[in-house]
Structure 1
Amino acid sequence: MSSSAIGRKGAATRQRIVAGAALLIRDRGAAQTSLDDVLEATSTSKGQLFHYFPQGRAGLLSAVAEHEVTQVLEAQQPYLSDLSTLESWERWREAVLTHYLELGDKCPLGALTTELGKTSPETRAIVSRLYGTWEASLALGVARLRERGAVAGAIDPDHLARCVLVAIQGGVTMLRTTRRVAYLQVSLDAALAPLGISDTTAA
C-alpha cells in the first residue's frame, strides 16, 4: 500500500474518532464522555486512539473543538463569506435558523460554548478563535452594507456583529433546553432589526 493511501486511511480513521466523540459530547456533555465511551462508539482500539491522540483525552477534546468550529462556520456558508447585500443577510439568517432547527439540542455551538470551551486553555482558545472569526465576518458584512448605502451610516459594524453573536448564543442555549427555535428566531431578529431584516412569524 502506498504512503499516500496509508495517509488517507489514517486521516479517515482519525476523523471517524473525532466525529464520533463530537456526537457523544453533544449528547452527553464533555464531563460525562469518557475515552472508553469513545472507543466503544467508534469501534476503535485504545492503541489506535493514542496513536492519533498521544495526549489522550486533552488532545482528543482539542480535536473535537476544532471539528465543531468547522461545523459551525461551514453551516453558514456560502452566505457568511459574502454578506454584502441585504438579500445575502436574509439568506444567511434563514440558513442559521434552519440549521439549528434541524439539530435542536444536538448543535455543535452549544457543545463548544457550554462544554468544550471549559475543558482546557487549549479548547478555550479554539472557541475564542471561532467567535473572533465569526464576529469579523459579520462586521465586514455590515461595513459593506454601509459602504453601499444599504443601511444607515450610524450603525457600528462591530457592535452589531457582537449583538448578533450574543443573540445566537442565547437563542441556541434556550433551544437546547426547550427544543423551541422560536427563542433563537426572536433574539436573532431583534439583533438584526437595525438592518431591517426579520420575520414576524414565530417558529
Structure 2
Amino acid sequence: MTPRLTAKGAATRQRIIEGAATVIRERGPGETTLDDIRGRTATSKSQLFHYFPGGREELLLAVASHEAARVLSDQQPYLGELTSWQAWERWREAVIDRYREQGPRCPLGVLTSELSRTTPGAQAVTRELLASWESDITAGIRSMQEQGEIPASLDASRAGAALLAGIQGGVSILMATGSLTHLKAALDMGIAQLRAEPSAPAVPCGA
C-alpha cells in the first residue's frame, strides 16, 4: 500500500516516477535496476521503499500508469474537444506527431510485457487507458451528432471502438516496422468514414 502523502511527498514520488520513466525509456525495464533509478533520481534506498513499499514491481506499475497518462495527455487538448471537423483534423495530427516522436519502441508496451508475468495490475492500466481513449472519441462523435454533422442513427459507441481499433492496429504495425503509413491510413479512413455517413433524407412537406 502506498502511504498517505503530503503535497511535498506526492511531488517527490512523482519525481521518482518521472526519473524512472526516463531511465526505462533509455534502457528498457529488463535492463533497469533500482540502483539505476536511485542514481538518476538522487534517492536513497530507504526513501525509494518509503514511496514504493512493494519495491521494483510497484514502481514499474506506477511508471506504466505514468506512460499511459502520457498517451492521452499528448493528444490534448484536441482529444477532449472533438467538436468540429477542424478539431478532428487537429487531433489526427496530434496522434501522428505523438507516435512519430515515440518511434517503434513503445515504453508502455515493454513495461506491461515485463509486468504481466507477475501482476494483473498492468492489464488494468491498459484497460483503463483504452476505455478512457475510446470514451473521448465516442464523446466527439456524439458531439458531431448533436450538431447534425453525423447522423443520429450511427452507433457512436461502435464507431468509436472501431476507430480506436484501427489506431491500435496502426500503432502495432509501427512497432513492428517503424512505418507510420498504417496509422495514418487508419485515422484518415476512420475520420473520412464519419464525414461520409449519409444524412437522413429530407421529408417532403405534406408527406
User: Smaller-chain TM-score range?
Assistant: 0.7 to 0.9
Map 1:24-39; keep pairs closer than 5 Å: 24-39=23-38
Counterpart for residue 162 of structure 2: 163
Deviations 1:43-99 (A, max 9, x none): 432222111101112221221122112211111111111212111111111111011
Structure number with higher helix proportion: 1
Amino acid at match of 2:80: S
How far residue 152 of structure 1 moved from its aligned partner, in angstroms, is: 3.5
Map 1:100-179; keep pairs closer than 5 Å: 100-111=99-110, 114-115=113-114, 120-179=119-178
Counterpart for residue 73 of structure 2: 74
Identity %: 47
How far residue 36 of structure 1 moved from its aligned partner, in angstroms, is: 3.0
Structure 2 CA distance for partners of 1:115 and 1:164, relative to 1, 3 Å: farther
Q: Secondary structure at the match of 1:196?
A: helix
- Partners in 1 of 2:133 and 2:179 — Cα distance? 24
How far residue 113 of structure 1 moved from its aligned partner, in angstroms, is: 5.6
Structure 2 CA distance for partners of 1:88 and 1:101, relative to 1, 3 Å: same
- Partners in 2 of 1:155 and 1:115 — Cα distance? 39
Map 1:50-65; keep pairs closer than 5 Å: 50-65=49-64
Structure 2 CA distance for partners of 1:115 and 1:174, relative to 1, 3 Å: farther
How far residue 130 of structure 1 moved from its aligned partner, in angstroms, is: 1.2
Structure 2 CA distance for partners of 1:42 and 1:100, relative to 1, 3 Å: same
Residue ranges of structure 2 left out of the alignment (5+ in a row) = 197-207
Structure 2 CA distance for partners of 1:68 and 1:119, relative to 1, 3 Å: farther
Single out whichever of 8-17 and 59-68 deviates more from structure 2.
8-17
Residue ranges of structure 1 left out of the alignment (5+ in a row) = 1-5, 198-203
RMSD: 2.6
Normalised TM-score (structure 2) = 0.78
Deviations 1:151-202 (A, max 9, x none): 24443211221122222222222223333222321222233331239xxxxx
Single out whichever of 149-158 and 58-67 deviates more from structure 2.
149-158
- Partners in 2 of 1:110 and 1:26 — Cα distance? 11
Structure 2 CA distance for partners of 1:88 and 1:166, relative to 1, 3 Å: same
> If you compute each CA radius of gyration, which structure gives the higher value, 1 or 2?
2
Deviations 1:108-135 (A, max 9, x none): 4544665556652222212211111111
